[in-house]
């Protein structure tokens, strides 16, 4: 029996194939899931319906499964952090955050290190979160 709250078979398999330095993109419902990531990334659809599942809903079980060493966010058009980022910071204490303007974020999310893209039903804008997998402590 698994000792993780994460039970999604495809997501568990994709995470198992990832390693230190690989990245996971938790994408909101507005993100271009098919074109906004490298072709080699595994695209996992958890966007059941608008609002289901949200990025924080997916982040919780993900954090119980893999260590995270860094996070990147998409800044708003005004260059500030979206309100949702405060919740990410609470869920990821001690993790360094980098903010990218929209097109720089898209560029970062298309790098070959992005191994997994999780499409969520998150409706809040600028809710995308790019996580770097760390090492077990």
Instruction: Please say whether the beta carbons of 123 and 17 come within 8 A.
Output: no
- Residue at 3 is within a domain: no
| Average pLDDT estimate for 109-135 | 97
Write down the pLDDT at residue 87: 98
State the pairing for strand pair 23-27/114-119. parallel
Mean pLDDT check: name the lowest of 28-32, 97-101, 133-137: 133-137
Let me know the angle formed at the C-alpha of 45 by 42 and 49, rounded to the nearest 5 degrees: 165
Residue-wise pLDDT for 24-83, tens only, equals 999 999 999 999 999 999 999 999 999 999 999 999 999 999 999 999 999 999 999 999
Write down the pLDDT at residue 3: 85
Predicted model pTM? 0.96
Q: Between the CA of residue 31 and those of 26, 62, 64, 106, 122, what are the distances in Å?
A: 10, 20, 25, 9, 10
Looking at per-residue pLDDT, the higher value among 46 and 136 belongs to 46
Q: Which residues sit opposite 24 in a β-bridge?
A: 116, 131
CATH value at residue 61: 3.40.1650.10
**112 is in which domain, residue-wise?**
9-133
From CA 101, how far away is CA 104, in angstroms rounded? 5
Domains held by the chain: number: 1
Position 2 pLDDT exceeds 80: no
Q: Report whether the peptide linkage leading into residue 87 is cis, meaning its omega lies within 30 degrees of zero.
A: no
Write down the pLDDT at residue 1: 65
State the pairing for strand pair 114-119/42-45. parallel
């Amino acid at each position: 029996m698994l000792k993780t709250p994460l039970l999604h078979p495809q997501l568990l398999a994709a995470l198992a194939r990832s390693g230190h330095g690989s990245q996971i993109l938790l994408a909101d419902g507005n993100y271009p899931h098919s074109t906004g990531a490298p072709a080699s990334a595994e695209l996992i659809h958890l966007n059941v319906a608008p609002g289901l599942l949200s990025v924080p809903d997916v982040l919780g079980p993900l954090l119980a499964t893999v260590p995270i060493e860094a996070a990147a966010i998409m800044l708003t058009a005004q260059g500030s952090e979206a309100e949702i980022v405060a919740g990410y910071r609470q869920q990821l204490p001690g993790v360094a955050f980098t903010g990218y303007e929209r097109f720089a974020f898209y560029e970062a999310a298309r790098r070959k290190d992005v191994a997994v893209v999780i499409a969520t039903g998150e409706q809040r804008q600028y809710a995308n979160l790019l996580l770097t997998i760390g090492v077990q402590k």
